[in-house]
Amino acid sequence: MELHTVLSNIFAASQISQDPETLHEYSLALNGSLCTPSAVVWPEKEPELIAVVEAANQHRFTIHPLAQGKNWGYGTAQGTHPQQVIVNLSRLSQVLEINDAQAYVRVQPGITQSQLFTALKDAKSSLQMDITAAGLHTSLVGNILERGFGHTDYSDRFGHVQSMRVLLPTGKIITTGMGMFEHSVARHLYPYGTGPVLQGLFSQSNLGIVLEMTLALQPKPAYQATVFALCPREGDAPEMVAAIGKLKLEGVITSGVHTVSMTRAMGEQARQAPGAWILTTSLAGPKGVVKARYKHVKQTLKQQIPGAKILFLDDFRWRMLCKINQYLKSPMIDSLKLVLDLKLGVPSDAAIQTLLDHPAASSAMKTSEFPANFRWICAVSSHSRQNISEMLSICRQLFREYGYEERYSMTNVSERAVVLIANIRFGKNESEIEKATRFHQAIDAALLSAGFCPYRSGSGLFDTIKPFVRDENLALLATLKQSLDPNNILSPDKYWLAHPDATKVPEAVEVAGAVVAGAVKAPETTQALATTKALEPSSEPC
């Protein structure tokens, strides 16, 4: 049976696309590669999503679900192999419940940061979101499942997931946490349930499709202030990150803390900045407690980083600063406003505009509309001065060798761990794409060899990491995949989760008039020009 006929039995015509322009858009990633799907579908009801999973099992084609398709820098909306059916969940975007008393929300997988922010505002909720700088139209659930992190006391976003309803690749539905019981009064309150904790199986994996997520949100604090620290020298970063690590271990700082290079924070305006790095964090709670904590933070940072300038901004001080800036016209004010909004859970597209040095950039843009390609580089470290210095040294050597501008952020994501995120921006031509690919392979290998391993990955990026993963772990993942997805229909090879017999190819399925191997057909496209090249095959993986 033709794939279009199979899909037409499930979806209305407005929910299916196989036109070349749409397929091309979904084939693109901002690393410059191309991975062409066979169709894109937009479920609007859970039964439709269940039906497409059942059809994939019956007819042996593979599917790749995504929430909004804006996983920029980590594969965008690309599938893991060509000829997959992309299942776009953006129309499953309801806020199912806002519970102020127990401080949680229940949402469907397609919800965006902007949609949840608006829903909380319209409900006059006492709850505050933790958000990322990815923008208004980016996914909440998708980012959480990739273990993205934010800015407030709830910055460990996946750590605040209370339960999930999950559609397994077999078509069965389970609920994690206390939802495993039919009548638990704590089903949205206690994530561990009884027995093995299943929640982690569905993060950074291809073992299920999240239908619903319960997420704990922070009640709006009685008083909140943002702390900025300007570091004058390039070499100040290791001292700053180490000092913050100690303050987090002591419980003085409880939010996510970001130490960001001025080139990352301000883009092309960094030359006008009065320092090399800027640290941002928030302090929340009773006013007296916040001010006491700030006093200790300021004293510690002044001791550790001579010449650091510390700024404390609550709502009153921010209003005063804005009035003064009517005369000063400082370029720093826009950057400060972005950070203040992030700490208050107010999403915006300002960070994307800085990232791309493009004032019209928006999270609503199509991948083909981006003014440039870019890639992320990430690594996890301790907060020790020695580790931070070594990690930065590895990056700096390769950035300079390949001629890319250095843009870094380092986030104390917990009391003990620090995540470095860097990025490169490059042109949409074949030579620039090839150079960026070589750079990415080199820097991944250098960081991994030194023990600085990535906290996430994405389509077209898994292969550089896999050789460093223990064989025992890969074997266990393969066993889990075979057990939960016996027909290998769900995003094969995402995060290395594939059947033990990876060479086994399910029976062929007729797709758009041509016969192809449906599930694990060898990838066929890469290094395409994102805006101009036709849908054409080559020999390397997506």
pLDDT at site 483: 96
Find out if CATH 3.50.30.30 is the number for domain 376-468: no
DSSP one-letter code for 442: H
Q: Which residues does residue 229 pair with via DSSP β-bridges, in sequence order?
A: 279, 310
CA-based radius of gyration for the chain: 23
Distance CA 520, CA 522 (A): 6
Check whether 198 has a pLDDT greater than 60: yes
Check whether 161 has a pLDDT greater than 50: yes
First CA to last CA across the chain, in angstroms?
27
pLDDT at site 269: 63
3-90+473-517: CATH topology: 3.30.43
Domain chopping of the chain, boundaries: 3-90+473-517, 95-219, 223-356, 376-468
CB 206 within 8 A of CB 481: yes
pLDDT at site 270: 53
| Residue range 223-356, CATH number | 3.40.462.10
Residue 228 neighbours by CB under 8 Å, 6+ apart: 278, 279, 280, 310, 311, 313, 336, 339
pLDDT at site 353: 85
Query: What's the pLDDT tens digit per position in 74-123?
Result: 999 999 999 999 999 999 999 999 999 999 999 999 999 999 999 999 99
Query: What's the pLDDT tens digit per position in 307-317?
Result: 999 999 999 99
CATH-assigned architecture of domain 95-219: 2-Layer Sandwich (3.30)
CA-nearest of 218, 265, 209 to 237 is 265
Read off the pTM: 0.90
pLDDT at site 542: 55
Where are the strands (E) in 407-498, listed by range?
A: 408-412, 417-426
Q: What is the mean pLDDT of residues 335-356?
A: 88
∠ Cα 48 53 54 (to 5°): 95
Query: What's the pLDDT tens digit per position in 487-517?
Result: 999 999 999 998 876 544 333 333 332 333 3
User: Average pLDDT over the chain, rounded to whole?
Assistant: 89
Check whether 140 has a pLDDT greater than 70: yes
Do the domains 95-219 and 223-356 sit in the same CATH topology, yes or no?
no
